[in-house]
């Protein structure tokens, strides 16, 4: 059945697992926006361990703003800060140079809508992990929708979804801090490259 999920900025590996069901992915856009979640947060593996990157946003209708109406703020140089953080975290990873040109342009242009920014990045990620997926948007808000796998409440930037058994892989700073599971999918892509798709497939089989 189709998967219903929140929008997410450079989403976690567990988020990607939830999206690997064969049918469509539906992104919720009519929810009241919740701050400090994966909607505008991601977590990477920096030189000092976990590092959270947050996109500053504008709520055009205050606390009643719907996700579809959330605008990205460019009052601070967050794009430059995020990209420098990503470079510092993954410049020495095996596949950073191979994939950087797919991601760096996002940090050099201004996109008005947060949900548009996230969806464009998600399309790039699906291309890298060789997943063909229709990404749709909700047409209204349903608290208890029928006929979909509702994962909207499962993903936040700081709390991974469920109890997933993760197979360790080599990370840039793992010799210093050990393996950190379920980071942004950037960690998987830059460290495993073409093997990222196989890692996700194995994780899906292992955690059925």
Domain extents for the chain?
3-206
- Predicted pLDDT at 164: 77
- Predicted pLDDT at 155: 64
Instruction: State the pTM of this model.
Output: 0.93
Phi-psi sector, 136: left (phi>0), alpha (psi -120 to 50), beta: beta
- Predicted pLDDT at 158: 45
Mean pLDDT (10-residue bins), the chain, 208 residues: 94 91 90 91 96 96 95 98 98 97 97 97 95 92 91 64 80 95 97 96 84
């Amino acid at each position: 059945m189709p998967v219903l999920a929140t929008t997410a900025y450079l989403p976690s590996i567990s988020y990607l697992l939830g999206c690997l069901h064969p049918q469509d992915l539906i992104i919720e856009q009519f929810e009241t926006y919740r701050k400090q979640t994966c909607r505008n947060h991601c977590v990477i593996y920096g030189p000092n361990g976990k590092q959270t990157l947050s996109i500053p946003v504008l709520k055009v209708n205050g606390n009643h703003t719907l996700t579809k109406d959330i605008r990205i703020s460019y009052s601070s140089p967050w794009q430059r800060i995020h990209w420098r953080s990503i470079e510092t975290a993954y410049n020495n990873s095996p596949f950073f140079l191979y994939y950087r040109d797919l991601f760096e342009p996002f940090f050099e242009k201004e996109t008005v809508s947060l949900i548009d920014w996230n969806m464009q990045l998600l399309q790039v990620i699906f291309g890298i992990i060789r997943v063909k997926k229709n990404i749709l948007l909700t047409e209204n808000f349903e608290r208890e929708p029928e006929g979909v796998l509702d994962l909207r409440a499962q993903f936040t930037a700081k709390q991974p979804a469920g109890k997933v058994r993760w197979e360790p892989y080599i990370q840039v700073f793992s010799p210093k801090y050990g393996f950190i599971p379920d980071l942004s999918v950037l960690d998987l892509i830059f460290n495993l490259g073409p093997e990222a798709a196989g890692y996700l497939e194995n994780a899906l089989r292992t955690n059925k």
